[in-house]
Amino acid sequence: MNTEEPKPIVVRNLVKKFSGQVVLDGLNFQVNKGEILVIMGGSGCGKSTLLRLLIGAMRPTSGSIEMLGADLTLLDEAGLDALRKKTGILFQSGALFNSMTVGENIALPLKEHTKLSADVINIMVKMKLEMVGLRDFEHLKPAELSGGMKKRVGLARAMALDPRIMFYDEPSAGLDPVASAMIDELMMDLNKKTGVTSIVVTHDMGSAFKIAHRMILLFRGRAVAVGTPAEIRASADPLVRQFVNGLADGPIPLRVSQKDYAEDLLEPFLERF
Amino acid sequence: MERTAGELGARFYSGLRYIGGMAWLLADALSFIFVAPFDRRRLRVRSAPVFEQMVRVGFSSLGIVCLVQLFIGVVIALQLANLLKTFGISEYVGSVVGLGIFRELGPLMTAMVMAGYAGAAMSAELGTMAVSEELEALRALAISPVRYLVVPRFIAAAVMIPCVTMVGNFVGVLGGMGIAWGVLHISPALFTQKMLETLVTSDVVVGIFKSWFFAQLIVLIACFEGLRVDSGAEGVGRAATRSVVFSIVMIISADCLFAAVFRLLLGR
Amino acid sequence: MQVTTELLENTKLGRAALIAAAGEVDMHESPRLRSALLEAIALRPAAVVVDLSAVTFIDSSGVATLVEAMKLAKAAGVALVLAGMTENVADVFALARLDKFFRLAASRGEALGV
């Protein structure tokens, strides 16, 4: 890796609080150019919040996010838009525009942000669809597609402007094993061929270990483990072991209530007397 | 007591935030209409979605607006028929129907129909997009939902609702004219003559202005309600209902205000 | 991106238009490449040779622009040759699975036979 070239994403001391509740607690990490970084964690660990911060849909309480040389937290809406054109995101549901055909979905960012002619845009739409193997589906509406296909079209749309960074939000959520394997394959393929830096947020361990170059395990808003899949697998940390092996109880408690059970049940009675 | 005061304070505060949010949306939409065309760094509003919305707002609602207005004309003429006859001034039925429809009931009833017809559809549509992550997807593609979704609806309604109102007004007058002929035996010629004697240009202009203003209210409320939906099908339904109810309340309040203001300004 | 067009007589391919592009062909620049290509094809030479040896970066809009030119050239009976692609550029064509779609030459010299 060229050391002179700045890292595409550098996150420093990132904190996000929602009405006093700390969701991200001083997060630090970097993403190298062209790598696939997988961010794992259980529900409520702050990974969706992290993703929303990274795409500029939300502002952090403190800390900085440097992306492609600009500090995301200091940008205004126009600056964020300039950055958004260089990044793509695959939403959990695909988030296709239901009123448009597949082809129109992919053409939209091109029509809005470039001065390319209609013919060139048409050719690009076909190229992007060929990339995800759905060239025959250009004229269908999203409602006519399966969940896996929607995600593949979403991927093609996210890649429309040739982004330099791709974000994936739970790419295997709601898909059958075959469709999910296809998405994994596509993510790796795109990363290899276009060198697009990829950040994948997931709780699917199988997929995570398959696609990751490096991975981060989030727990209660902190990065508890960072490393290559081999390093994570070999980790002796009980928290990592619990998560990787999918055990119900361990350092991540099965019951999350802070109050004592008996106390909780008796409390209203105590108050009345 | 303390609790009620607190609740009242909270309600007042949320009411302020609601109005503030709507003002913000309006400012944003206006900046795309009036500022962006002169700023080279900003994306412009495209004409294709505006035309699409014009068709949806204007043409598809024309039938129902005409039907409602026809009945309004009929009802005014029927209700007044006996009264006018008693005083022996049946020939003035044209004046009453014309003034009532052009100045007051035409814009008002059309706006009501539009609040239910176009307003509810807009908030449900935007609300569905919000729920299915489509709005977030637009933002992630650096496309402002206000520019891409709200502004075309804004322009389309501002142009089409006054047009639909005018068409409806004529249909309403025709309805009144029919009753005048059939029940009061006033010929269409006399009806028209009396109507034109009473109506002045300002009546028609005030009617169009009101209709334009109501259109802005409908779209602003509908889009605001739609964009802020955050939870499921239930949220979409609630947004549609709220947008219709708020629109109707706001339209009538504004109409009342206009009646007072124009009376002061124009003396009629 | 810089684009220059020159018209050459008596090449191996006959009368040929040589378009030399240099720099980055991205979403904002490819409309200029497109107009250069359309003008060249409108001259009705026997062939249009696009020298890509100085192109450091091309994105999918650049590739799509060349595909469109290929389509128009075919319709006009003009041969379109891409010359001197660097490895970087060739990768983008391969990604779009279009590397077999074009007539390629190692350099403009090879394409024109001069």
Smallest Cβ–Cβ distance between B43 and the set A92, A98, A112 belongs to A112
State the sign of the Cα–Cα–Cα–Cα dihedral B51, B56, B60, B64: negative
Interface of B with A (CB under 8 A): 41-43, 128-129, 132-134, 136-144, 148
> C48 in a domain, yes or no?
yes
Mean pLDDT of B157-177: 94
Cβ(A149)–Cβ(A137) below 8 Å: yes
Q: What pLDDT does residue B206 have?
A: 92
- Ordered per-residue pLDDT tens for chain C, 114 residues: 888 888 887 777 888 888 999 989 988 889 999 999 999 998 888 889 999 888 988 888 999 999 999 999 989 888 898 988 888 888 888 877 887 888 888 888 887 876
Q: Which of B155, B180, B172 is nearest to B113 (CA)?
A: B172
Cβ(B37)–Cβ(B147) below 8 Å: no
Residue A103 has pLDDT above 80, yes or no: yes
Q: Say whether B142 and A91 touch across the interface (CB within 8 A).
A: no
Residue B130 token pair: 């919000």
Smallest Cβ–Cβ distance between A123 and the set C28, C67, C94 belongs to C67
Q: What pLDDT does residue B209 have?
A: 94
- Provide the chain A residues 172-191 that lie in CB contact (below 8 A) with chain B: none
Return the higher-pLDDT residue of A156 and A271.
Answer: A156
Q: What pLDDT does residue C114 have?
A: 62
Return the higher-pLDDT residue of B7 and A38.
Answer: A38
Mean pLDDT of B119-130: 93
> C59 in a domain, yes or no?
yes
Residue A159 has pLDDT above 50, yes or no: yes
Angle at which helices C60-76 and C87-95 pack, to 10 degrees? 80
Express each pLDDT in A193-238 by its tens digit.
888 999 999 888 888 899 999 999 888 888 888 889 888 888 888 8
Whole-number percent of chain B with pLDDT over 70: 97
Q: Kind and range of the H or E element at C50?
A: strand C47-58
Contact residues, chain A, for C97 at CB < 8 Å: 130
Nearest CA in chain A to C66: A120
Which domain CATH number covers C56? 3.30.750.24
A interface test, pick of B32, B47, B141, B151 with most A CB neighbours within 10 Å: B141
Q: How are beta strands A36-40 and C14-25 bridged, if at all?
A: unpaired
Residue A141 has pLDDT above 80, yes or no: yes
Residue type, B156: A
Assign 3-class secondary structure to chain A: CCCCCCCCEEEEEEEEEECCEEEEEEEEEEECCCCEEEEECCCCCCHHHHHHHHCCCCCCCEEEEEECCEEHHHCCHHHHHHHHCCEEEECCCCCCCCCCCHHHHHHHHHHHHCCCCHHHHHHHHHHHHHHCCCHHHCCCCHHHCCHHHHHHHHHHHHCCCCCCEEEEECCCCCCCHHHHHHHHHHHHHHHHHHCCEEEEEECCHHHHHHHCCEEEEEECCEEEEEECHHHHHHCCCHHHHHHHHCCCCCCCCCCCCCCCHHHHHHHHHHHHC
Distance CA B127, CA B147 (A): 16
Smallest Cβ–Cβ distance between A194 and the set C61, C67, C95 belongs to C95
With a CB cutoff of 8 Å and minimum separation 6, the contacts of B21 are B224, B228
Q: Domains in chain A, start-ordered, CATH in brackets?
A: 9-86+163-272 (3.40.50.300)
Mean pLDDT of B250-255: 94
Residue B1 has pLDDT above 70, yes or no: no
- Tell me if there are at least 3 CB pairs under 8 Å linking chains B and C: no
Nearest CA in chain A to C91: A193
> C33 in a domain, yes or no?
yes
- Provide the chain C residues 85-104 that lie in CB contact (below 8 A) with chain A: 91, 94-98
Cβ(C92)–Cβ(C99) below 8 Å: no
- pLDDT level of residue B56 (50, 70, 90 thresholds): confident
Distance CA A151, CA A170 (A): 11
Give the closest-approach CA distance of C2 to chain A in angstroms.
18
Q: What is the pLDDT of chain B when averaged over all its residues? A: 89
Distance CA C82, CA C99 (A): 11
A142 CB within 8 Å of a chain B CB: no
Domain count, chain C: 1
Q: Say whether A114 and C34 touch across the interface (CB within 8 A).
A: no
Mean pLDDT of B94-99: 90
DSSP B133: T
Nearest CA in chain C to A130: C96
> C51 in a domain, yes or no?
yes
Smallest Cβ–Cβ distance between A124 and the set C34, C64, C91 belongs to C64
Q: What are phi and psi of B85, to 5 degrees?
A: -65, -40
Q: Say whether B139 and A89 touch across the interface (CB within 8 A).
A: no
Contact residues, chain B, for A96 at CB < 8 Å: 134, 137
With a CB cutoff of 8 Å and minimum separation 6, the contacts of A50 are A14, A24, A27, A39, A201, A218
Residue B164 has pLDDT above 60, yes or no: yes
Express each pLDDT in B201-231 by its tens digit.
888 999 999 999 999 999 999 999 999 998 8
Residue B2 has pLDDT above 70, yes or no: no
Distance CA C16, CA B266 (A): 76
Q: What pLDDT does residue A257 have?
A: 65
Distance CA A111, CA A85 (A): 13
Q: What pLDDT does residue A1 have?
A: 44
Distance CA B103, CA B207 (A): 5
Q: What pLDDT does residue A102 have?
A: 94
Assign 3-class secondary structure to B79-107: HHHHHHHHHCCHHHHHHHHHHHHHHHHHH
Which residue segment(s) compose the domain that C88 sits in? 8-108
Q: What pLDDT does residue A215 have?
A: 92
Smallest Cβ–Cβ distance between C31 and the set A116, A127, A131 belongs to A116
Residue A269 has pLDDT above 90, yes or no: no
Express each pLDDT in A176-190 by its tens digit.
888 888 889 889 988
Residue type, A106: I
Give the closest-approach CA distance of C13 to chain A in angstroms.
27
Distance CA A143, CA A97 (A): 10
Q: Say whether A78 and B137 touch across the interface (CB within 8 A).
A: no
Q: Say whether C64 and A114 touch across the interface (CB within 8 A).
A: no
- pLDDT level of residue A255 (50, 70, 90 thresholds): low
Q: What pLDDT does residue A265 have?
A: 77
> C12 in a domain, yes or no?
yes
DSSP B230: -
